[in-house]
Structure 1
């Protein structure tokens, strides 16, 4: 089966499985008697199973699981990565058939869809009074909440920002301490970097990854005053001049040769490795790339700025990442809740998240010795002040599906000469149809 056809089938399967569960009652495991008081240790013995998507912050998740396993040798987590393009369908199918892990990481943007379908364990009675939640990432907790019920806690936080290679800036005659503050400046800087020649390019746009683009191109539209997704039935998507302005900007970047040719096939699997190659002058990526780029390219000097819009000084960011949730049917709810408590603990926030130069998922933990010694983390944290987390029950179908209208619109902008007004009109119609239940 072709990749395109397979994803049309997966998208349809996800919708069917989620909708099919909407009439079911609440998960009884959250109300079958008093819950055990949460700790950061095992509630019972035996291996715990956990699913997590590939293409996310794998290094961070691996560290968190290792930290839990070191502390809890009697109930170690067996972590399985599911290809990110298959994760939603895998979760939905597993819940429908009862073949679920004990806990799982879930791209936060999908949580409302599964919460509405009552396919996640309601944790309200177990966790609502935890003091750690008072300062937990607001973006995560917003999408972890449905009809005043809580279904998860942050696993890790990603914010999108503009990473730029100071070495290439210097070689191109640009000031390494002055990143672009508008899309016009970004284009001008990219032109100078690409002019260095060889396999050096000024900018990176992932050509076949819907999620990568909402994370990095979406903020360019938001910063330019646009609105992207339809929140629900009757809501209008793709509103504002910034939509067309950014599509024109991205088209011009591709046609001018500022984007590597190989980026056209980037589906997200190697997106996180592009900046550390040292061959890309600028790209939108996430805070996870600080430590990753240093591991890949220890001698490379780089900086971080906010993703700009059309007007100088305008900026935006996508607040993303994963939640840790418990699928309906899990037999180890107490242990899974204890893992959540562990992740939010002071020690893990500082000695695992912060030590690895990843954003803490609690705001009161950002004032720590590791961040104080690392200006780049402080720079990327500024994105939290201009960040957004879209909330819609049809995010997958509208935005993240490889066959969805968002990616189709971008690919037509990047790689064709189709009239942009027509391109936008077609995408708008498709998004409205999805949001209206069509």
Structure 2
């Protein structure tokens, strides 16, 4: 599949597009009210303004529906209890780790019939719908800004270390060598691996896929841990060697994504695993003073020829009534599908975002629709692109050759939490025993999986 530049940022649009479904005919003083997650926080002023305008446009075209935005974000510690108790909105936003489990537990509604009424439904990229689909082909949601992981790197530090900024490492052996060179020449951390808030396990999954392994596997119709095997063992020993033998990972090992991007924006980190979208965080949130330093390549490989794909998805809980579910699908198509498809809408969104000097217009992501439609969108937003697309070219070129692998299908966040402890031990204890750590983690994860699949 060819990956082309698409507008990343707010997945919402101030537009006067016609609604994706027919307007409500109920009228009267009591419209159907739906609460929808996905409203940007107050700190994202451009995104929040667009969201509010989009709500107004939607309600104008659907007078029988009222939308109430929610800034609630996914919290793995409280989400399950809230969902089971019916204390969630009519439209929920979750990471791509969650849909398969929610579908299997029948906690969300199939939306295929409603989605299928949209004229462009069959033009969706099948890859972005696959994680939202059950075994019978029923689709349960709409994705937002799907992504594929790569290797983010500081082009300035590469140049100072005598490395070619236009040729990022393609293998993990090359990453290790580049990290040593960056540290030796600049004194900065050559490579940093996230390790807390479930993100250590998440990034270990990326490394495992790149080494040809799995985090979970299906064993007789139930999922069990698969990471206590050679690919994950090699990945952890690579981290251990880089941390303790090479001393190329710096002194601060307890980091999540925000910590890493903040340090990267300050020029303190040479490389980390991330997506093109982290450019926006580095620039807009952490004030990266020289955005020309941002570069990204495809995820380096060690026999797996694969990378982790993900993103956020919007679903409708099973408990939502039929009339509200119908309204919710109209909102999802209007808010996330139609703007991603419509060329005029894409150009208008790009124009509006480009008016903000802090914006990042044109950052590549995975295409929501087929290649023909994506090419039209790229051409439409071209006048407003304010990022150096050539700095994303290694990711665009390299990712198209990799297999896109979704996150573990069962209890992914809980699995990541267990694997966090493994990553932290490797990065903070020179005498850590990788085999013993994996064996304990395997037993812990299998117990959690068994309980969840009774």
What range is the shorter-chain TM-score in?
0.7 to 0.9
The TM-score normalised by the length of structure 2 is 0.74
Q: For 1:48-76, what per-residue CA distance to the aligned partner results, in whole angstroms no more than 9, with x for missing partners?
A: 42235999xx8997587356235235545
Aligned partner of 2:395 in structure 1 is 380
The separation in 1 between residues aligned to 2:167 and 2:394, in whole angstroms, is 13
What do you get for the CA RMSD once the two structures are aligned?
3.4
Contact residue 36 and residue 68 of structure 2 kept, 8 A: yes
The separation in 1 between residues aligned to 2:198 and 2:293, in whole angstroms, is 29
> Aligned with 2:164: secondary structure?
coil
Aligned partner of 2:288 in structure 1 is 297
Single out whichever of 275-284 and 92-101 deviates more from structure 2. 92-101
For 1:78, which of 66, 69, 86 is the aligned residue? 69
Q: Are residues 1:357 and 2:363 paired? A: yes
Contact residue 53 and residue 106 of structure 1 kept, 8 A: no
Single out whichever of 125-134 and 201-210 deviates more from structure 2. 125-134
> Aligned with 1:261: secondary structure?
coil
For 1:395, which of 384, 407, 412 is the aligned residue? 412
Instruction: Map 1:420-435 onto structure 2 (within 5 A).
Output: 420-435=434-449
Aligned partner of 1:108 in structure 2 is 96
The separation in 1 between residues aligned to 2:213 and 2:281, in whole angstroms, is 31
The separation in 1 between residues aligned to 2:199 and 2:400, in whole angstroms, is 19
1:121 Cα shift?
2.2
Q: For 1:91-142, what per-residue CA distance to the aligned partner results, in whole angstroms no more than 9, with x for missing partners?
A: 3223322222121211121111112222212212211354544343444422
For 2:109, which of 117, 121, 129 is the aligned residue? 121
The separation in 2 between residues aligned to 1:163 and 1:59, in whole angstroms, is 26
Q: Which runs of 5+ in 2 are unaligned?
A: 1-17, 61-65, 351-359
Q: Are residues 1:257 and 2:247 paired? A: yes
Contact residue 136 and residue 154 of structure 1 kept, 8 A: no
Aligned partner of 2:3 in structure 1 is none
Instruction: Map 1:39-188 onto structure 2 (within 5 A).
Output: 39=20, 43=24, 45=31, 48-52=34-38, 65-66=51-52, 68-69=54-55, 71-72=57-58, 75-82=66-73, 84=74, 87-128=75-116, 130-148=118-136, 149-188=138-177
1:395 Cα shift?
2.3
The separation in 1 between residues aligned to 2:21 and 2:78, in whole angstroms, is 28
For 1:338, which of 322, 330, 337 is the aligned residue? 330
Q: Which runs of 5+ in 1 are unaligned?
A: 1-36
Instruction: Map 1:234-253 onto structure 2 (within 5 A).
Output: 235=224, 237-238=226-227, 240-253=229-242
Q: Is the alpha carbon distance of 1:234 and 1:327 closer, same or farther for their aligned partners in structure 2, counting shifts above 3 Å?
A: closer
1:272 Cα shift?
4.5
1:397 Cα shift?
3.0
Aligned partner of 1:408 in structure 2 is 421
Q: Is the alpha carbon distance of 1:184 and 1:321 closer, same or farther for their aligned partners in structure 2, counting shifts above 3 Å?
A: same
Q: For 1:20-55, what per-residue CA distance to the aligned partner results, in whole angstroms no more than 9, with x for missing partners?
A: xxxxxxxxxxxxxxxxx9726874857642235999
> Aligned with 1:203: secondary structure?
coil
Q: For 1:348-374, what per-residue CA distance to the aligned partner results, in whole angstroms no more than 9, with x for missing partners?
A: 556548955252422444311247963
Aligned partner of 1:12 in structure 2 is none
Contact residue 169 and residue 281 of structure 1 kept, 8 A: yes
The TM-score normalised by the length of structure 1 is 0.76
Contact residue 161 and residue 186 of structure 2 kept, 8 A: no
Contact residue 35 and residue 90 of structure 2 kept, 8 A: yes
Single out whichever of 366-375 and 136-145 deviates more from structure 2. 366-375
For 1:279, which of 241, 258, 268 is the aligned residue? 268
Q: For 1:182-203, what per-residue CA distance to the aligned partner results, in whole angstroms no more than 9, with x for missing partners?
A: 22221111112122455x3111
Give the aligned length: 388
For 2:374, which of 348, 361, 366 is the aligned residue? 366
1:251 Cα shift?
1.5
Q: Is the alpha carbon distance of 1:259 and 1:320 closer, same or farther for their aligned partners in structure 2, counting shifts above 3 Å?
A: same
